[in-house]
Structure 1
Amino acid sequence: MTGRIVIVGAGVAGATAAKTLRREGYSAEIVLLGAEDGLPYRRPMVSKEMLAGTADEPRALLESAESWAALHVDVRPATTVEGIDPDRAHVRLADRTEIGYDSLLLATGARPRQLCDPSRNIHTLRARADVAPLRAALYDTGSLLIIGAGLIGCEVAATARTLGIAVTVIHAGPTPLDRIAPPAIGEYYRKLHADNGVDLHPDVHLHHLVDTDEGVIATAADGRTWSAATALVAIGAIPNTDLATAAGLAVDNGILVDSHFRTSAPGIFAAGDAAARYDPATGTHHREEHWNSALTHGTAAAKSILGLPIPPTEAPWGWSIQYGLNLQFAGRIAPTDDLEVHGVLGTPDVTVYARRDDHLVGAIAIGRPADIRAARTEIRTVR
């Protein structure tokens, strides 16, 4: 290949792809287009160190400006792509500039799900730009209502409590983290948050959320209400597929790609949170929303663009730091899986393994990173 590679999206998938292309010897032009201001950064820090005000700026960056220059990657922050022309192999920018490509990687990420129109006191948290308004609101008002007890909701609750903010969490599920954790682990985190002063309410079917002069008020279908001066909606993310859809690419809860990250259009690849990758083992497409999955996607997609063998499929995995405890998880745990406990439930020293048809399909651990490293290898082997 001798032509230009354009990468749309400067999150970890896009940035890792650019670095991998150089590492594999690709010497032609690489253009990395990012919608956000600033250089690519570590998004997991948004809900923890950045919100807490303890982030070290150089450490938050994936690479320094000098490193990107040394790699000869043309990084363009604050650049919006408005369209793709697959027939002409061009992308069109908001300023009407067109950039041709030999290969195109879509790493457009995802955006937070909304419950209502954005307002001054109702926030979401995904990008670095979301941090300052939320942090200022917390200090100005002193109270926070979080809708959703997934990873972002729980991490923000823990961070806000360290800042001395009064925190209430309402959650549609029976326990926190129920998308990744079995009930026993979720119950441990419910108690952990309660012990740290969080008022957490499970099984809440929210009817509406409204920003009033007296504060933000959430009303459940059964009539219960909760209020705070500031609210955070943390109920998951929606893949950014508008560009792909408008270009005629196949989309279904993500940009559909095969096992080598190729979309339905020749020369166009997709990776990261926006991509729904085909899994030959199940015959279905899966979309992952974890930082580590996006990183491995970026590496594999770059190799695929170059026609190189891609690494074996890795089990999705991630981590969360809450109140200083390290939670790690791998694979996918279903309610019907057989669970095997190592350590002691209800303590910060436990691993729960999930088996299906005698195969390891998932694991989650508190304070046992070595267990998760081993589980990731076994899960990948049996896929």
Structure 2
Amino acid sequence: MSETSSTPSDAGKDLGTVVIGGGLAAAHCVHELREGGYTKPVTLIASENQIPYERPPLSKEFLQGSKPAQDLEPFPASWYSKTDVDLRLGITAESIDPEAKTVTLSDKSSVGYENLVIATGCRSRVGGRDSNMTGWDLPGVHTLRSLEDAKAIKEQLVSGRHLVIIGAGWIGMEVGASARNAGVEVTVLTPDEVPLATVMGKDFGSHVAQLHIANGVRCHFGTGVTGIASDPNKGLMVQTATGAIAADAVLLAIGAVPNNELAVAAGLEVGSGVVTDEHLRSSDKSILAIGDIAEAYNTTLDRTMRVEHWDNAIRQGKLAAATILGREESYDWLPYFFTDQFDLGMEYVGDRGANDEAVVRGNMEKGEFIIFWLRKGVISAAMNVNIWDVNDHLRSMVGKTITVAELEDTSNDLMEL
């Protein structure tokens, strides 16, 4: 007898699809199911007391006050009720029983499924189980993964206050730009010599660094942090190898960790995330994984990959629904993401490798340029910076063999390449 057999459940009801998660991937999955004519029960389990929402604006428009919380929802509360989606907010999925096909919930109930979609996303890397950072749980130390996190950080964005950001990835640099725009003093600490170099290379990383410095961000590159302490007279003190830095607030932006625990406990194959095929089905074919949590097989790139970006969450949510609806669609698109920092707007598409050759088209000093990456003469990725309406064409260029000279020569019409 299963452990869930004695708890209230959906036994005796027609089984449908259960989605665990309250983010963009989960929202688009249930939306696509209903729009695609799916008539079986749909249940969405969201641990936050929020209608499913998108997270990229949390570090940008929401902090800057140009996008209120209600505008983060891709679909309003009325849509879920109108389409008979059982939306359970503030409820956590505690375990999955693949044999009984049930999910046990934090309110001691259970729900049965025919198809289960795991969209549990990531959590911020902090101290304890995720890193060696000490002092991460002190008052005034923040992370940014949820709307509540963003609200708490926004309260700290008062002109003249000092925010120390530990980490120089996308979240750290975007929050740094938003904070400076609010008149906050900002210090960025990172052990890296160039921000974003690992993911975007030194050319673009150096450009972003100079942009932040020009806008008054104090950047301490090559500076590791050993911990955070609280001083009754000076406030928060961020400890580095070269001394302590006082702060009114601290943002930990040192990466994210996939919420794999449910999948591991259920016996699913897990690598960097839940391993899936090109249709997003896991090692248990009745269980799918989508969004930040999914290490999915990409048919175009011929390998599994885990992507933590807005575009991928939307597309995988829709693809999971297509799989459940019986449509033969596959994970075949190239990764895409974007950022906005100060007067820099960027879009990226492709699959850049660490050893790929970077080719710059345009003038980086003027802030309008395109970077192509070449792998053995073939374009592997491209990025447009402050040049708009070209990203679809850049996507079509990935996989083509074009010489460095042709790419660099701006007298050549980009659309002809």
**Structure 1 residue identity aligned to 2:320:** A
CA shift digits 1:124-181 (9 cap, x unpaired): 0110011222222343981100011111101101111111111000122222222332
Among candidates 23, 27, 31, match of residue 19 of structure 1? 31
Give the secondary structure class of the aligned counterpart of 2:389. Answer: helix
Aligned partner of 1:294 in structure 2 is: 313
Distance (Å, rounded) in 1 between the aligned partners of 2:125 and 2:338: 21
Once the 2 structures are TM-superposed, how far is the Cα of residue 311 of structure 1 from its aligned partner?
A: 4.7
**Structure 1 residues 103 and 357: alpha-carbon distance in aligned structure 2, compared to 1, 3 A threshold:** same
1:275-333 deviations in Å (ceiling 9; x for gaps): 11124566643111111111111111111122212155111111111114211112232
Q: 1:363 aligns with which of 355, 378, 382?
A: 382
Q: Is the 8 A contact 1:158 1:193 kept in 2?
A: yes
Aligned residue for 1:258? 277
Whole-angstrom distance in 2 between the partners of 1:348 and 1:336: 24
Q: How much has 1:380 moved relative to structure 2?
A: 7.4
Corresponding residue of 2:5: none
The 1-side partners of 2:159 and 2:266 are apart by 44
1:3 CA drift (Å):
3.3
Q: 1:198-225 CA distances to partner (integer Å, 9 max, x unpaired)? A: 001112233333333323323334x343
Alignment equivalent of 2:85, drawn from 73, 77, 84? 73
- Residue 103 (structure 2) aligns with: 91
Over 3 Å counting, the alpha-carbon distance change for 1:141 and 1:161 in structure 2 is closer
Percent identity between matched residues is: 32
Matching residue of 1:163: 182
- Is residue 141–residue 229 contact of structure 1 (8 Å, CA) maintained in 2? no
The answer to whether the 8 A contact 2:336-2:349 is kept is: yes
Amino acid at match of 1:169: V
Change in Cα spacing, 1:160 to 1:67, as seen in structure 2 (3 Å) is same
Q: Could you say what secondary structure the match of 2:219 adopts?
A: strand
- Matched to 2:29, the amino acid is A
Is the 2:278–2:330 Cα contact (8 Å) retained in structure 1?
no
Structure-to-structure mapping, 1:98-113, within 5 angstroms: 98-113=110-125
Aligned length: 380
Question: 1:122: Cα distance to partner?
Answer: 1.0
- Alignment correspondent of 2:64: 52
Task: Say if 2:198 and 2:354, in contact at 8 Å, map to a contact too.
Answer: no
Whichever residue aligns with residue 81 of structure 1, its letter is: A
State how far apart, in whole Å, the 1-side matches of 2:217 and 2:315 are.
35
Question: 1:227 is matched with which residue: 246, 254, 273?
Answer: 246
- Partner of 1:334 in structure 2? 353
**Which residue is 1:189 aligned to?**
208
Instruction: Tell me, yes or no, if the aligned pair for 1:241 and 1:274 is still in contact at 8 Å.
Output: yes
Cα distance in 2 for partners of 1:378, 1:24 equals: 32
Residue of structure 1 equivalent to 2:238: 218
**Structure label with greater radius of gyration:** 2
User: What's the counterpart of residue 142 of structure 1?
Assistant: 161
CA contact (8 A) 2:15 2:112 kept: no
Q: Residue type matched to 2:17 in 1?
A: I
Does the CA-based 8 Å contact 2:159-2:182 persist in structure 1?
no
CA offset at residue 20 of structure 1?
1.1
Judged with a 3 Å threshold, the aligned counterparts in structure 2 of structure 1 residues 299 and 381 are, in CA distance, closer, same or farther, namely farther
TM-score, length basis structure 1: 0.93
Which amino acid letter does the alignment assign opposite residue 219 of structure 1? Q
Task: Say whether 1:61 aligns with 2:80.
Answer: no
Q: Is the 8 A contact 1:3 1:101 kept in 2?
A: yes
Give 3-state SS (helix, strand or coil) of 1:370's partner. coil
Q: RMSD value over aligned CA atoms?
A: 2.0
Pick closer, same or farther for the CA change 1:328–1:380 going to 2, 3 Å.
same
Please, which runs of 5 or more residues in structure 2 have no aligned partner?
A: 1-13, 127-132, 402-417
2:368 aligned residue (324, 349, 352): 349
- CA distance, structure 1, for counterparts of residue 341 and residue 257 of structure 2: 24
Find the aligned partners of 2:24 and 2:172 in 1 and give their Cα distance.
21
> For 2:334, which of 302, 310, 315 is the aligned residue?
315
